[in-house]
Amino acid sequence: MITLYGDVTKTRANRCSWMLKEIGIDYVNEPLAFRPGAEKPAAFLALNPNGKCPTLQDGDLVLYESLAINLYLAKRYGGALGPQSPEEEALMMQWSFWVATEVEKPLLLTAAIRHLFEPKQPADEELAIAMKRLSRPFSALEQHLQDRDFILGDRFTAADLNVAAVMHFIPIAEIDVSTFTAMKRWLETCLDRPAAIDVQSVNFRVPTPKSSRDIFAMFV
């Protein structure tokens, strides 16, 4: 039996919940409703000394890092969601590392600034830097999607899921991506999938209410 640790409504465990729902396998969810800075359960720290969610246990395997968990699940159980060749696997890793290193931090920072900070607190400089950092990766994805429906071509895969699961913060960060038409269309297609809609988080679609500051405190 697979166990997914982490609150799928408030943490990056929502990404792995999306993948598990796409695959359609049974799993147990342990929400672990700890708050940032709070003492973590000793049994959880024994599994993952890094102390973060999500963490996945599948038999003797314990894994952390949401996007790595998804690559494992897709390859092991995901059929067409996973790689069908070493080349596809390499591309899935490339896009997953890309979104984690080039997009996630400035995007979450923008979302946090726009939803966490008091309106009077100036953060213009941080916002400008974050937006500048995002412009090149957004352009790269836009260009890549000019002649394909999905990141690897004509089917939805773990690469799309991992990238879209990070990019779903775009509306929450209030970033206007109307000029990135291919990227926007692709993101909407990914987030309209039944498994994405079914994830009990911000449902990837519904911008988190500004009052839900604690949600962002868990993400950033």
Ligand X SMILES: N[C@@H](CCC(=O)N[C@@H](CS)C(=O)NCC(=O)O)C(=O)O
Binding site for ligand X (CB under 6 A): 11-12, 36, 51-54, 65-67, 218-219
Residue among 12 and 168 whose Cβ is closer to ligand X: 12
Nearest C-alpha neighbor of 141 from the set 107, 180, 170, 92:
180
- The minimum distance between CB 218 and ligand X, in angstroms, equals 5
Dihedral sign, CA of 33, 38, 40, 41? negative
- The minimum distance between CB 48 and ligand X, in angstroms, equals 9
Backbone angles phi, psi at 181, to 5 degrees: -65, -40
- The minimum distance between CB 46 and ligand X, in angstroms, equals 16
Residue among 150 and 219 whose Cβ is closer to ligand X: 219
Residues 6+ apart with CB under 8 A from 139: 180
State how far the Cα of 150 lies from the Cα of 148, in Å rounded to an integer: 6
Name residue 2's beta-bridge partners. Answer: 27, 58
State how far the Cα of 50 lies from the Cα of 42, in Å rounded to an integer: 12
- The minimum distance between CB 182 and ligand X, in angstroms, equals 26
Residue among 22 and 104 whose Cβ is closer to ligand X: 104
Residue among 65 and 126 whose Cβ is closer to ligand X: 65
Residue among 53 and 145 whose Cβ is closer to ligand X: 53
Q: Which helix (H) or strand (E) holds 2?
A: strand 2-5
151: amino acid identity, one letter? I
- The minimum distance between CB 149 and ligand X, in angstroms, equals 26
